[in-house]
């Protein structure tokens, strides 16, 4: 009898942890991802704000698994699962096909959601992929270039107003990073427009930012952001986003750059499996992370709905990694005829958010920290969890360099738009 075939879908934190936990197991593993790289999402906002380049937070999945001889990597898009015949349906390049499995692990994550307002998408990009990050970086940098070539100062305000929808960690980190980029770097590089005249507005419908953190940390982050010049508008959802800006609480804020960090929705794993989902669409799993009545199918990470002590587990990297390792060990037990593991339990190592330069908030079940010490802890933890030691060195050196010189790492505008049919004809006074 040949070795059981484990198919893992998704090369994020959860999927990669599963595959690595199977390194010495008597199984064949196939990891399917639609991209060729594992993305370190916690630093994605630094790509979007020009501190890091895409290559510094993305590791080729093949490189990460090159010494694991029982693992293959497949660049393909999953389109469905045939649970009865135990096959995953994929599209790879110009071909369709099915891949049979003995065990299936779905770690397909989430993408951003506009809560039924899909018309917002065209005007307010979200931040989940490298492409998103590069598009946002282009947009932020290009906006200043537009303002520099714009002779009519009445058009400057909406060009240089950045609106971030969502006051969670991503929104807060983006706002702080944009403020730092402007103050520390762009301020000295323009001759006709003053980048410091830019406005950064953070909008959230909750009564405070960083709502998952304790109230004192949330207040500290609020004060710090305000000190960086970020305007924070709480208690009202955004009513409308269009090509002229946003409307919040009846007030129109003209802006050419609106970014969406307010919400996510799960990938369609629930639909593929025909499994029960929670209200958000995440697959409800059992205490061993399998789907009811499908003991060979596991769902982990952001796409799984998993409760612990009556509360849902958060959608963070730590949960996915711990679940991945658990599922790996479970499959080893099953493949070797061992006793089942105790139910999965998440160990909370804490969560953090960074606010501009040198300031972060950190909260775990045991302690809370803010300011410079929390920032150092944040930096150390993020460096530690980068998947490749080369990236660890590279990101560390980039941060040090930027700290000393105030020159961030990657400020390319990859695409720009110089002409349009409706162009105005006018004299530029240079």
Sequence-distant (≥ 6) Cβ neighbours of residue 222 within 8 angstroms: 208, 209, 232
The least CB distance from residue 210 to its own copies, in Å, is 31
Q: Which stretch binds its own copies (CB under 8 A): 279-287, 339-347, 366-374, 422-430?
A: 422-430
Work out which of 76, 81, 289, 297 binds its own copies, going by CB under 8 A.
76
Work out which of 74, 260, 298, 359 binds its own copies, going by CB under 8 A.
74
Q: Is residue 267 at the binding interface for its own copies, with CB under 8 A as the rule?
A: no
Query: By CB under 8 A, how many residues form the interface with its own copies?
Result: 79
Distance CA 90, CA 292 (A): 24
Distance of CA 425 to the CA centre of its chain: 41
Neighbour-count burial of 380, counting CB atoms closer than 10 A to its CB (0-12 exposed, 13-18 middle, 19+ buried): exposed
Nearer to its own copies among residue 279 and residue 424 (C-beta)? 424
Handedness of CA 164, 170, 173, 177 (dihedral sign): negative
Work out which of 62, 244, 325, 392 binds its own copies, going by CB under 8 A.
62
Distance CA 133, CA 234 (A): 25
Q: According to CB under 8 A, which residues from 96 to 125 bind its own copies?
A: 96-100
CA distances from 305 to 265, 269, 271, 286, 314 (A): 12, 12, 14, 9, 9
Q: Is residue 339 at the binding interface for its own copies, with CB under 8 A as the rule?
A: no
Residue tagged active-site, from 3, 148, 173, 427: 173
Nearer to its own copies among residue 33 and residue 173 (C-beta)? 33
Q: According to CB under 8 A, which residues from 187 to 216 bind its own copies?
A: 188-192
Q: Is 173 a catalytic residue?
A: yes
The least CB distance from residue 198 to its own copies, in Å, is 16
| Interaction pattern, residues 124-153, with its own copies; x per rule: CB under 8 A | ------xx---------xx--xx-xxx---
DSSP, collapsed to helix, strand or coil, labels residue 251 as: strand
Nearer to its own copies among residue 365 and residue 420 (C-beta)? 420
CA distances from 182 to 15, 153, 228, 423 (A): 37, 19, 10, 29
* Catalytic residue list: 173
């Amino acid at each position: 009898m040949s070795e059981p075939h484990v198919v893992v879908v998704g090369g994020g934190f959860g999927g990669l942890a599963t595959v690595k936990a199977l390194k010495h197991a008597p199984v064949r593993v196939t990891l399917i991802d639609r991209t060729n790289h594992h993305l370190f999402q916690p630093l994605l906002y630094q790509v979007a704000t020009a501190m890091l380049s895409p290559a510094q937070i993305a590791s080729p999945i093949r490189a990460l698994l090159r010494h694991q001889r029982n693992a293959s990597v497949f660049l393909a898009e999953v389109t469905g699962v045939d649970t009865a015949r135990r096959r995953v349906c994929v599209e790879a390049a110009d071909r369709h096909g099915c891949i049979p499995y003995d065990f299936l692990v779905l770690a397909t994550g989430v993408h951003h959601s506009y809560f039924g307002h899909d018309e917002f998408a065209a005007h307010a990009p979200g931040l989940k992929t490298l492409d998103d990050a590069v598009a946002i970086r282009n947009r932020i940098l290009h906006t200043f270039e537009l303002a520099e070539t714009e002779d009519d100062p009445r058009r400057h305000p909406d060009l240089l107003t950045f609106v971030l929808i969502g006051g969670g960690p991503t929104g807060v980190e983006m706002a702080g990073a944009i403020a730092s980029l402007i103050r520390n770097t762009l301020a000295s590089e323009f001759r006709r427009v003053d980048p410091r005249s830019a406005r950064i507005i953070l909008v959230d419908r909750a009564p405070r930012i960083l709502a998952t953190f304790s109230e004192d940390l949330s207040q500290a982050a609020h004060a710090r952001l305000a000190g960086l010049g970020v305007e924070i508008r709480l208690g009202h959802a955004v009513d409308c986003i269009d090509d002229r800006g946003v409307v919040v609480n009846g007030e129109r804020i003209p802006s050419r750059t609106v970014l969406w960090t307010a919400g996510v929705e799960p990938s369609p794993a629930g639909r593929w499996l025909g499994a029960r989902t929670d209200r958000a669409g995440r697959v409800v799993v059992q205490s061993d992370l399998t789907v009811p009545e499908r003991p060979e199918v596991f769902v982990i990470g952001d796409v799984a709905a998993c409760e612990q002590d009556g509360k849902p587990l958060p959608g963070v990297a730590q949960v996915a990694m711990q679940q991945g390792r658990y599922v790996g060990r479970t499959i080893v037990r099953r493949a070797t005829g061992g006793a089942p593991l105790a139910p999965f339990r998440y160990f909370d190592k804490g969560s953090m958010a960074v606010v501009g330069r040198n300031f972060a908030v950190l909260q775990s079940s045991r302690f809370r920290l803010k300011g410079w010490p929390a920032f150092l802890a944040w930096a150390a933890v993020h460096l530690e969890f980068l998947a490749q030691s080369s990236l660890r060195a590279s990101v560390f050196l980039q941060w040090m360099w930027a700290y000393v010189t105030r020159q961030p790492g990657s400020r390319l505008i990859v695409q720009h738009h110089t002409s349009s049919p409706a162009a105005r004809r006018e004299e530029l006074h240079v």
